[in-house]
Amino acid sequence: MAQNNWAKNSVNRQPAELGKMLVDPADWYPADVSGSDAWIYRLSEAELAEIDTAIAGVQARGLDIMHITRDDFPLPKLAAVLADIREELIDGRGFAMIRGLDLERLTKPQYAAAFWGVGTYLGEALCQNRNGHMLGHVKDLGEEYGEVRGYMTRAHMALHCDQCDFLALACFHNAKEGGNHLICSSVALYNEILRRRPDLAVALGGHFYRSRKGEIPPGETEPWVKQPVFGFQDGYFAARGVSAAIDLAQKLPGVPPMTDLEREALQMFRDVARELAVEIPLERGDLFYLCNHVTLHSRTEFEDWPEPERKRHLLRLWLSTKGERPLPPEIARRSEGVFVEGTVLVAPLDVE
């Protein structure tokens, strides 16, 4: 078994303020990631045995995946490690990998149960789409990007954030070629833009309209939300991605046109984000976690296997920490998943 070099980031955060450089443990560059494996936790034999026992327990009780609670998935030794990982996601470098689950001996239901069970130690699962999926699936369904959400296609995706505190991915199958995960520190991104164009960094602290793409919660009517790209609350920084939702909002009634400065700022965000992104190759069985408020994510375009059973397939969870990290209200309100009228919650083991 490979040596476990996991270590928490030792940088102490300084209070964050718009227009000033950030001192933050989530300020990292590609070389910091590719040159280190301190962000990878390798499971020991004893920890793997705990997970096996917990899986057997939920299977014996016939529990549906989304009904598994932390009490249903006891991990006496691993729990302290997961508490460290949770703290590192909230208040550290903002991402982590757990490696060591063996998919040669775990079935898909067992792997999904392990993914969900470990997730209960990190946050509370959220609904990810209007279909009520609590367990999501990142898989090419043969659709065109733009007609459906990007995770259903094989296209390259722009760096973005999801509507949750933590994004969690579990690698069940890799693509034949490509499909590597991409991440970027939004803290480093802010600092770089501030160094190069302070006016644009400050402009990104203003509110931008984003289309809800029809995913409007019960009791609300506006087809858009307003959020800062770079937000600040109680000395904490939180970023949102620059996605197609901003462009789509410009077509909605009542949304004012963006200024030239705002458009320039958004383009600089996109350009510098690409510069600062690093590929994270996922191995089968890996569990990967990131904090959406300090880490952008994406993936490269890929070529899939022709056999249906070998197609690239990542399981996905959206997790909430229930307000543990201070967030601007406009960001906090849109970090609790997707819920529309009539949503029925389910946790499918696959999608077609």
DSSP secondary structure string for all residues of 126-149: ---STT-BSSEEE---SPPBTTB-
CB 128 within 8 A of CB 134: yes
- pLDDT at position 142: 63
Q: Which residues pair with 233 in a beta bridge?
A: 236
Mean pLDDT of 149-176: 79
Q: Which of 322, 327, 333 is nearest to 124 (CA)?
A: 322
Q: Which of 304, 309, 322 is nearest to 155 (CA)?
A: 304
Q: What residues contact residue 184 under an 8 Å CB cut-off, 6+ apart?
A: 159, 273, 276, 277, 278, 295, 296, 297, 298
**pLDDT tier, 311 (very low <50, low <70, confident <90, very high otherwise):** confident
More confident residue, 143 or 278: 278
Pick the range with the lowest mean pLDDT from 2-6, 85-89, 205-209, 263-267. 2-6
CB 153 within 8 A of CB 260: no
Which structural domains are found in the chain, ordered by start? 33-332 (3.60.130.10)
State pLDDT tens for residues 43-73.
999 999 999 999 999 999 999 999 999 999 9
DSSP-derived letter for residue 313 is E
State pLDDT tens for residues 213-247.
889 889 889 999 999 999 999 999 999 999 889 99
- pLDDT at position 125: 98
The whole-model pTM stands at 0.93
**pLDDT tier, 144 (very low <50, low <70, confident <90, very high otherwise):** very low
In angstroms, the CA 241 to CA 270 distance is 9
Q: Which of 280, 284, 286, 279 is nearest to 98 (CA)?
A: 286
Pick the range with the lowest mean pLDDT from 46-50, 119-123, 306-310, 324-328. 306-310
- pLDDT at position 169: 98
Residue with tokens 């160094």: 195
**pLDDT tier, 148 (very low <50, low <70, confident <90, very high otherwise):** very low
In angstroms, the CA 345 to CA 339 distance is 9
CB 120 within 8 A of CB 73: yes
Q: Which of 141, 133, 108 is nearest to 312 (CA)?
A: 141
Per-residue burial over 174-213, b if 16 or more Cβ lie within 10 Å, else e, is bbeebbbbbbbbbbbbbbbbbeebeebbbbbbbebbbbbe
State pLDDT tens for residues 66-113.
999 999 999 999 999 999 999 999 999 999 999 999 999 999 999 999
Interhelix angle 260-276/186-196, rounded to 10 degrees, is 120
CA 259 from centre of chain: 30
Rg of the chain on CA atoms, in Å: 20
- pLDDT at position 304: 65
Task: Supply φ then ψ for residue 160, to 5 degrees.
Answer: -150, 180
Residue 136 token pair: 């999501």
